Structure formats: structure tokens, C-alpha cells
Amino acid sequence: PDRAVRTDQVDAELRRLREAVDSVVGDLRDLGQRVLKRAGPEESRIFDAQILMAQDEDFLASVETLIRNNKLSAETAYEFKALELRNQWSGAARLRERLADLHAIQLRMLNQLMGRSGPEPWSVPDEHVIIVAHELSPGLTVQLDREHVVGLVSEEGTRTAHAAILAHSLGIPAVMGAVGALAEIPSGTILLLDGQSGTIVLDPTRGELEEAKTQVSRRHRLELQLEAVVDAPAVTPSGRPIQLMGNVDLPEEIEPAVRMGAQGVGLLRTEFLLTGRATLPTENEQAEYFRRIASAFPGHPVIIRSFDLGGDKFPVAFKTSAEANPFLGWRSIRVCLDEPEVFRPQVRAILRAAADRDVQLMLPLVTLVEEVEQARAIVQEEADALWKDGVRAARSVPVGVMMETPAAVLIADHLAEVSDFFSVGTNDLTQYTMAVDRGNARLADRFTPLHPSIVRQLHQLVAIGRAANIPVSVCGEMASEALSAVLLLGLGYQCLSVSPPTLPLVKWVIRTVPEPAARQAAESALQARSAEEVSEALRSVVGEYIDVRLLDPQSALPGRRRVATLPPGTAAP
């Protein structure tokens, strides 16, 4: 169809747009029902999210405005706006994995508007195959027959992308983010995939195949053990309790965190409330969301991180000039303190949610004592204002610091004087300590929280927290890695906040490895000269109680570096 339309055709284009939305939503509901039967209710909600995306009124209104003002056909206007949104989301780290969902909806809408058949179905040979694709969508994944499709490789996406989650639920191993796979893997190649370690072996040897079969058996036994500990308490073999909390990025992660036994939320990221929106979220919207989270974890704390804006996470609703070095620029607590119209409504929302729940505020990227003092003053001002206005809210909330810079660690004793708690963000702490961009693939081998400089800072923070009588936890990805969790316990940490899917594994390790062994590993790590020595010390000590090949993905398969998954139903996503 032509890109431009006549003035008298505009209303018809608007109707075509809405009719296409209704048709696409109907198709997505049908797919959701198929997934409900094949995988379960949690996985079917993936399509609920896509339906909400397809029905987004702000987005559709922008398409309609483009049709009216520019006399464009519905498909042309929709494509322009979808591409614009993809560009916005590509710059937001936490929304990149949603791009596959957005792209799937875009294809469905354009196919519907242009009268083409949909993006499915797939034609799969009557033999066992591994599908290698540039990008996988949940809609495509659910159509696959697991009797014939025994593995998936996608150049785009992450292990937490909807397509990967759905594939795992269907028992189909999926390897995401395998850059260059289409060019490197010719059709007909025999592959060995290990999704847990993220590796692909082309044309594996007989020895590699035998080792993979043994690893499948080991992991199957581990899965049975993990199922048994989901409802068990997080205690060491000697009976000391460890608080295991969950990290929550998005609303759909609440239910898995509860189901996996999280004892509250140690890191509630709030950036999704801003990213991709044309306007800032209201105080009421935020208060309602924070109450929802707190209600899901009665009797447990929920630690809300204030907007961690900047770097790669400035939303559409927030206009700012480009910076030459954004990760060392105007971001996180600096933005919050400089932009009260962004920070104060969030503080008020937190205070309202904390009226009858244990809700706490955490400040990201603190480097100055004054930043904490200013934030605390704002919290008190807003609490007083709410009280005067007769609004039901807490008179105060605990305010803590996310320790993620060497500067914060070096002045931790002073920060402890103005903070109610510390929580270590090992991702940025590693990035800033090692001067390594954690998103730079060329430097991936240098980005490790097991470097002695990080281990020593972690040890220092525990000691300072103990002396100041304030709790110190770890909420970075390091806590979600089983071997690293043993190191943290050995260093003296009693609270870890981890990604919901890894809660059972971390809990099992806590219940299995004796505290003296963990302390021995930590003592060796503190004397180590390199990350390799730290890793070896951990494997040596933990290996006396657990097969470390189950915990350390890098030791899963010998030989060449790769990307991956196991036979159906046996691998982690």
C-alpha cells in the first residue's frame, strides 16, 4: 500500500489500525491459552505482557496523531513509531531484552495491516534439530515441537528474555546472545550445547559427548535436590540463619521471588517506572506499586532503590544532554538530588507505602557523606509534609547506601554514621574499581568480582558495618553465583539478595557448605594475588562438599570456549 493517503481516507486508516490491534490481541490470547496448557500460568503471562504492549494507549495515540497530521497509511505510521520506540529501548539496559517482544508485536501488526500471513508457523524437519536464528520471539518458540526441536540458539536476547524463559519451560534448551552464530554455524553442523554455562561446541568429540551426558545426569540430581530446599529454611549446617532476599527488576518477577522463598526484596529497581514512558510516573502510581510489592512479602523488608538514572538509563520522559562519559557523569543520586520533581514524589510514595510495612530507601552511587545527609533531609521534609496534610504515611523510613564505588568503601566509616544499612552493588563496584566497562565484550575476562581488590573491599565493609552496628548485605550479581555466595558467607555476610531463579541453588549451597569451610575459603581469597587464585581457592574448599562442576559454569565442559544448553528438560534457562 502507498505510504501516503488522502484526507478523506484518514478515518479509514484509523479504523484499520484499531481493527489490526483487536486481531493481534486475539491471536496473542490464543497463544497464551496454548502456553497455559503446554507450560503453565506463569509462562502464559508472557503473552499478557505482549497484549498490554499491543494495547498501549499512549503509543497508539502517537500513531494516530502521525496518521492525522502527516496523512500516512496505518502501517507506515505504525512502523515509524515502532522503530522510534525500538531506538529508545535499545539505549535502556533494562529494556533491551524486551525488544524481541516489541519486534514480534510490530511484525504481527504490520502483517495484519498489509494483509500478509503472520510471522508463524515454523516448518521443522521430522528429525532432531537445533534451530539457529537471529532473534526468537515467544510466539515463535511456543509453536515448536519439542519432539523434533532439541535446542535453540539466538544471536539476540538474554537468558532472561521471554523467549528463553518459555523455551526452558517447554523443555527446549535455549542459548541467547550467541553473536555471529548464523555465520559461524553452517546448516547440518553437529552441536553440543550447555545452556547453564552459555557455551556451544561445534562438531564435538566422543569424549566431549560422554562428558556432557555425565553432566546431564549430575544436573538432574541437583534439580531434585533444589526442589527439596525451596520451602526449607536458609540456614548453615550448624543452624545459623542467613537472610536470603530477592532482587526485583520488573513486576512479573514478584511472583517467582515469592514462590522461590525470598525473605523480602533486597533490591527493588525502579527504573522501569520511567523508561520508555513519555511522562514521569505519578506519586500515586509509585505508591500503589510499592504497596503491591510490600504486600507480597508480609513480615519481610522491601528495600527500594531510588531512581538509578544516567549512564545508559535516561528515560524518554527525562530530557538531558549527552555526556562524553556518562558512567562517570550525572547519574543516580546526583540526578535525584538535582531534580527534586523526580525524587520527591518517589520519596513520598515510599513513605506512604511504609505506613504499615517494612519499606526502606536505598541510595545508589553515593560518593559523598553530604549526599546521604541531603537525601535524609528530603525524606524528613516530605514525611512532615505528609503528616501535616493528613496523608497516611510513615513518619520516617530507614535510609541506606548502595556501596558501589571505591570512594564509598574508603569513607564507609563516615557513611555508617549517617546510614541505617549498607548493601553492596558488586556490579558497579567491580566496574569502577577495575576501570572496566562491564558491557565491553573485549574486557569480559577482566570483569570479575573475584579480583582481590573487590574481595578486600567486601571484607572491609563487613568489619565497618559490624563496628557501626548496621547491617551489611550484598545485592549485586555476585550474590547470585553459588561459589561467590560461599565466599561472601565466609567473609561474614549474613544477608544476600539474589535473582529469584537462583534462590534455591544459593540456599542449597548455604545449607551444604559448613561455615568453617567458607571461612577457610575467604581467608585464602584475602591472601590471593589474582582472581584465578581466588576462584581456585573457592573450588578447592567447596569441592570437598559439592561437585563444583554443578556450580561453576566454566568447568562444565572442557576445551573450547562456547555458548549453550542441555537436552530437553535438564538445563537451567
What DSSP string runs through 124-166?
A: --SS-EEEEES---HHHHTT--TTTEEEEEESS--TTSHHHHH
Cell output for 187 = 546448516
pLDDT of residue 95: 57
Between CA 228 and CA 3 the distance in angstroms is: 59
> Does residue 251 sit in helix, strand or coil?
helix
Query: Strands 243-248, 129-133: parallel, antiparallel or unpaired by DSSP?
Result: unpaired
Q: Please name every residue paired with 401 in a beta bridge, in sequence order, or none if there are none.
A: 363, 422
Cβ count within 10 A of residue 298:
9
pLDDT of residue 323: 60
Between CA 292 and CA 306 the distance in angstroms is: 17
Taking each helix axis from N to C terminus, what angle separates 99-113 and 41-54, rounded to the nearest 10 degrees? 60
pLDDT of residue 564: 34
Which residues are catalytic, by number?
162, 475
pLDDT of residue 84: 86
- Angle formed at CA 397 by CA 394 and CA 402, multiple of 5 degrees: 155
Between CA 16 and CA 20 the distance in angstroms is: 6
Q: Please name every residue paired with 247 in a beta bridge, in sequence order, or none if there are none.
A: 267
What is the mean pLDDT of each successive set of 10 residues along the chain, which is 573 residues long?
Answer: 80 94 91 77 72 88 92 92 81 60 85 73 65 79 73 77 69 80 87 76 85 75 77 94 92 87 94 70 94 96 90 54 68 88 95 97 96 97 97 97 97 98 94 80 77 97 98 93 94 95 91 96 97 94 85 40 31 32
Query: Strands 422-424, 399-403: parallel, antiparallel or unpaired by DSSP?
Result: parallel
Between CA 313 and CA 324 the distance in angstroms is: 15
Between CA 166 and CA 170 the distance in angstroms is: 6
With 0-12 CB in 10 A as exposed, 13-18 as middle and 19+ as buried, what is 70? Answer: middle
| Max CA separation in the chain (angstroms) | 80
Between CA 284 and CA 348 the distance in angstroms is: 9
Secondary structure element (H or E) that encloses residue 304, with its range: strand 302-305
* CB 176, CB 159: distance < 8 Å: yes
Between CA 313 and CA 300 the distance in angstroms is: 29
pLDDT of residue 562: 35
The separation between CA 255 and the C-alpha centre of its own chain, rounded to angstroms, equals 14
> Does residue 567 sit in helix, strand or coil?
coil
Tell me the helix, strand and coil percentages in the chain, rounded to 5: 55, 10, 35
Q: How many residues does the chain have?
A: 573
pLDDT of residue 152: 87
* CB 41, CB 35: distance < 8 Å: no
Cβ count within 10 A of residue 117:
8
* CB 480, CB 502: distance < 8 Å: yes
pLDDT of residue 556: 34
pLDDT of residue 68: 92
Where in 442-568 does DSSP place strands (E)? 472-474, 495-498
> Does residue 569 sit in helix, strand or coil?
coil
Q: How far apart are the first and last CA of the chain?
A: 42
pLDDT of residue 209: 83
Secondary structure element (H or E) that encloses residue 383, with its range: helix 369-388
Cβ count within 10 A of residue 74:
28
